[in-house]
């Protein structure tokens, strides 16, 4: 278990211990939306979250990288490393209007990357632009020549925009300079919250009017729908040599410190444990690349046991280490 016992309240430690010894769902392959939903119904959502976290950490596919990430001493770097590399940030939704509440502008990433000596570039995407519009902006941004190595960091909806761009015919050389892609709470398959909203016509009408008032299009929200035959369900190819890391929050109900997170978590509860906005925890184990779960963090990566800046620093420092994880050239979509 990557978390140190000293970092956790006794009740959370006991919960994880119980999850580790739970006789069912022993492997990551047994984790599914239905199995976690049933477990949440019988044992509670917090326990189902703990089981999902435990199985991911113990899996052969993700466990070794999780252990290496957790072991990094983030306090050991007091001066910039004078890296000549570049961090390219693709912000999340509403990164101009709601950055203070969500961190979607990537300011924490910028601060920590610059502290470590990176040059930072932010893709000038629209705050709530369509996948077509923002993916074109991302492609144009990545067409520039950057100092290498280049680390691509996407936040929430920004991940969906990069994935969409990779599916376009013009994307052949898009990641030609990129050595690593870090997806922070990325909406790889969209969000079930879109389906939740669609099922409530009156609420949908109010959201539509709010977006229109701000000059934004409700159809962009519909592009983020979750499930088969949706825009983000398709497969995309990742060039050989690009390492993909997903950072995902695994919150208990007590960790949800904002009204927005509590509301999102409650609305997604019918699907089982979730990160309070864009990810069902049952799906995390089938994401391509490596998944780093953050215990006590919600979709906005507000960790209960580690400062947000330390988390970003941990990931960037890990990228300097020799790679031992398997690199994938083909990224699968939802099955």
* CB distance 311 to 247 below 8 Å: yes
Q: Is residue 266 part of a domain?
A: yes
Q: Is residue 120 part of a domain?
A: yes
What is the distance of C-alpha 256 from the center of its chain?
A: 17
Mean pLDDT of 27-50: 96
Is the confidence at residue 329, as pLDDT, over 50? no
Cα separation of 166 and 161, whole Å? 9
Q: What is the model's pTM?
A: 0.91
Domain that holds residue 11: 5-325
Total domain count for the chain?
Answer: 1
pLDDT at 257: 85
Q: Is 237 helix (H, G, I), strand (E, B) or coil?
A: strand
For residues 205-231, b (16+ Cβ closer than 10 Å) or e, as one string? Answer: eeebeebeeeebebebbebbbbeeebb
Confidence of residue 308 (pLDDT cuts 50, 70, 90): confident
215 preceded by cis ω (within 30°)? no
- Indicate the range of 35-44, 244-253, 315-324 predicted with least confidence: 315-324
Q: Is residue 12 part of a domain?
A: yes
Q: Is residue 332 part of a domain?
A: no
Mean pLDDT of 13-20: 95
pLDDT digits (tens, 9 = 90+) for 258-267: 898 999 999 9
pLDDT at 202: 95
Helix/strand/coil (H/E/C) assignment for every residue in 253-272: HHHCCCHHHHHHHHHCHHHC
Q: Is residue 333 part of a domain?
A: no
Mean pLDDT of 106-134: 93
Is the confidence at residue 334, as pLDDT, over 60? no
Is the confidence at residue 333, as pLDDT, over 60? no
CA dihedral sign, ordered 105, 307, 261, 16 = positive
For the chain, what is the mean pLDDT? Answer: 88
pLDDT at 3: 57
243 phi/psi in degrees, rounded to 5? -90, 135
pLDDT at 324: 39
Confidence of residue 323 (pLDDT cuts 50, 70, 90): low
Q: Is residue 331 part of a domain?
A: no
* CB distance 128 to 94 below 8 Å: yes
Q: Is residue 334 part of a domain?
A: no
Confidence of residue 58 (pLDDT cuts 50, 70, 90): very high
Q: Is residue 176 part of a domain?
A: yes
Question: Which CATH number is 27's domain given?
Answer: 3.40.50.1820
């Amino acid at each position: 278990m990557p978390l140190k016992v000293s970092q956790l309240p006794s009740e959370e430690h006991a919960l994880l211990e119980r999850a580790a010894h739970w006789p069912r769902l022993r492997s990551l392959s047994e984790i599914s939306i239905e199995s976690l939903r049933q477990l949440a119904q019988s044992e509670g959502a917090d326990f189902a979250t703990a089981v999902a976290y435990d199985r991911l950490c113990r899996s052969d596919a993700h466990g070794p990288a999780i252990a290496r990430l957790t072991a990094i001493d983030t306090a050991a770097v007091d001066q910039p490393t004078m890296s000549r590399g570049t961090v390219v940030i693709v912000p999340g939704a509403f990164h101009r209007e709601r950055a203070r509440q969500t961190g979607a502008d990537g300011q924490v990433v910028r601060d920590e990357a610059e502290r470590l000596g990176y040059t930072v570039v932010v893709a000038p995407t629209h705050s709530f632009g369509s996948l077509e519009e923002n993916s074109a902006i991302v492609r144009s941004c990545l067409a520039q020549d950057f100092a290498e190595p280049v680390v691509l960091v996407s936040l929430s909806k920004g991940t969906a925009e990069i994935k969409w761009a990779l599916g376009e015919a013009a994307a052949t050389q898009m990641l030609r300079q990129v050595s690593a892609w870090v997806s922070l709470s990325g909406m790889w398959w969209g969000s079930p919250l879109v389906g939740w909203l669609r099922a409530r016509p009156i609420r949908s009408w109010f959201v539509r009017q709010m977006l229109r008032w701000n000059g934004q299009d409700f159809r962009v929200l519909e592009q983020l729908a979750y499930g088969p035959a949706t825009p983000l369900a398709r497969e995309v190819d990742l060039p050989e040599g690009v390492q993909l890391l997903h950072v995902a929050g695994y919150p208990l109900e007590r960790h949800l410190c904002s009204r927005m997170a509590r509301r999102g978590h409650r609305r997604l509860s019918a699907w089982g444990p979730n990160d309070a906005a864009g990810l069902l925890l049952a799906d995390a184990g089938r994401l391509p690349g490596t998944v780093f779960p953050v215990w006590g963090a919600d979709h906005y990566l507000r960790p209960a046991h580690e400062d947000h800046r330390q988390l970003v620093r941990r990931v960037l420092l890990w990228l300097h280490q020799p790679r031992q994880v398997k690199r994938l050239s083909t990224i699968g979509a939802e099955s």
